[in-house]
Chain A
Amino acid sequence: MKLLIDAQQLSKTFVLHQQHGLALPVLADVSLQVAAGECVALTGPSGAGKSTLLKALYANYLVGGGSIRIQHQGSWVDMTTARPHEIAAVRRHTLGYVSQFLRVIPRVSALDIVAEPLLEWGYSMQEAQQQAGAWLARLNIGERLWPLPPATFSGGEQQRVNIARGMIAPRPILLLDEPTASLDAANRAVVVELMREARQRGAALVGIFHDEDTRAAVASRIFDVPLAPALCA
């Protein structure tokens, strides 16, 4: 069993300076290890910190304490102490994140948005666009939409473009924040299949899946995010 994520004793308290320094403890002493080929589903009541944990693993949120070691190109990188350009390299090559929302430069076509991660991996434009087309087709985005910027797409279409962009580069670790949230059953099945394929190639997945069927179909393990003590009262 090859460990890819080793997060130890994470704590996170939000301090809201605009609210007179109100402190909201969300994570306290949370540890999570994930190995290659696993898919860990984060569970817990709303507000328990599932999303916070996922974002902390991506270094999108800063933790107050603990360590987040990520297996990156043969060595461990601690995301809590790594310098920004090191984190950028880990994200580019190792650690992918699929959110529900597409955030991209206006005017850029759906095909180029999806191809971009492969260009960063050094693929030629032709090869990257070819693979991007295959991903979009698989996610039922019709070819007539490929040259268009996704700003005018429906919510579900935008989310599928986002999934293609997040999964096209075969990164060893994928973090998924409700990847199937606004998809219909047919597209949900495609995304479930893509996540299974990622596991089969040895990727470690950590995700939040509100839909129980999706969770049952992809997760190899459930991780119940423990409530921070101050929130238990």
Chain B
Amino acid sequence: MSQPVLSVSGLAKDYGNGQGCFDIDFELYEGEVLCIVGESGSGKSTLLATLAGRLSADAGRVRFRDRAGSSHELTTLAEAERRRLARSEWGFVTQHARDGLRMNVSAGANVSERLMALGQRHYGQLRETAAQWLEKVEISRERLDDRPTAFSGGMQQRLQIARNLVTQPRLVFMDEPTGGLDVSVQARFLDLLRRLVHDTGIAVIMVTHDLGVARLLAQRTLVMQQGRVVEAGLTDQILDDPQHPYSQLLVSSILQA
């Protein structure tokens, strides 16, 4: 069995007032989607940002294995190195596409930016790659020169996906990516993400409050309450046979469509 892409042990981010995340342990493998669920304020987004190095950890270790097979300890990584990994090996999809896009440049430039940061300079090639990625996320290549401000919310979110995945990262962090989307757009997004995971073997860590999304996309789920993981396991097990009182409450509160 291959090595995990990410190994997390004893990770904590302590805001000092009891808020944050504590004692986080898990491993993530290639091609796996892990959902982090829990109510607002349970520390889901804090955990995600700490894993991605956007917040500094107060305790614990996060080991990341890059595509060449080298291990990096993320909690002590120098900022320059973290930025290099963030560009080449990771993606980060925010809940509000506006936070993850550059709104004042074209869709094509948004998609090309990471490629250029990695040293690609050939204009025609960059443009062609960007056009192909727009099509992968079901945006017409004719929109290449339009700014994201001219896109609907669902299109902006798909553009953000393309912008993050164009460098074929090994690990993508997603913070409530379907939060603001219509259900029809959400279905399209789920289908897209499922295919990308299958085709490219990326690993995904996704914060969501939608257990239906977790069931359809994620093999594994962490349930968080008050900054701690109260239950971890296979998604279908947690949804069909939740053990912890809080998981049971969460599952019993789902509306059946």
A-to-B contact residues, CB < 8 Å = 14-18, 55, 59-62, 83-89, 103-108, 119-120
Contacts and interface: CB of A to CB of B under 8 A. Distances in A.
Contacts of A84: 219-220, 233-234
A105 B187 CA distance: 7
Nearest to B29: A85
Contacts of A83: 27
Nearest to A21: B245
Contacts of B236: 60
A55 B239 CA distance: 13
B150 to A, nearest CB: 25
Given A55-B240, A60-B236, A87-B234, A107 B248 contact: no
Given A55-B240, A84-B220, A85-B29, A17 B188 contact: no
A39 to B, nearest CB: 24
A62 B187 contact: no
Interface in B158-215: 187-188, 190-191, 194, 198, 215
Given A18-B248, A18-B249, A105-B194, A62 B216 contact: no
B1 interface: yes
B9 interface: no
Nearest to B253: A18
Contacts of B240: 55, 60-61
Contact of A103 (B191, B198, B216): B216
24 contacts: A16-B248, A17-B248, A18-B245, A55-B240, A59-B234, A59-B237, A60-B237, A62-B233, A84-B219, A84-B234, A85-B1, A85-B29, A86-B1, A87-B234, A88-B234, A103-B216, A105-B194, A106-B191, A107-B188, A107-B190, A107-B191, A108-B191, A119-B198, A120-B198
Secondary structure at chain A's binding surface: helix, strand, loop or mixed? mixed
Contact of B190 (A87, A89, A106): A106
Would you list the 7 A-B pairs with minimal beta carbon distance, nearest first? Answer: A17-B245, A106-B187, A61-B241, A107-B187, A85-B29, A105-B190, A84-B220
Interface of B: 1, 27, 29, 32, 187-188, 190-191, 194, 198, 215-217, 219-220, 233-234, 236-237, 240-241, 243-245, 248-249, 252
Secondary structure at chain B's binding surface: helix, strand, loop or mixed? helix
A105 B191 contact: yes
A105 B237 contact: no
A62 B149 CA distance: 48
Contacts of B243: 15, 62
A103 B217 CA distance: 11
A60 B220 CA distance: 12
A83 B248 CA distance: 22
A78 to B, nearest CB: 15
A50 to B, nearest CB: 16
Given A15-B243, A18-B248, 18 more contacts: A17-B244, A17-B249, A18-B245, A18-B249, A60-B234, A60-B237, A60-B241, A61-B240, A62-B233, A62-B237, A84-B219, A84-B220, A88-B32, A103-B215, A103-B216, A106-B190, A119-B198, A120-B198
Nearest to A87: B234
Contacts of B29: 85
Contacts of B241: 14, 55, 60-62
Name the residue in A17, A87, A103, A119 with the highest tally of chain B Cβ atoms < 10 Å from its Cβ.
Answer: A17
Contacts of A59: 234, 237
Given A18-B249, A60-B240, A88 B219 contact: yes
Contacts of A104: 216
B198 A61 contact: no
Contacts of A15: 243
Contacts of B234: 59-60, 84, 87-88
A162 to B, nearest CB: 15
B117 to A, nearest CB: 32
Given A61-B237, A85-B29, A105 B216 contact: yes
Nearest to B216: A105
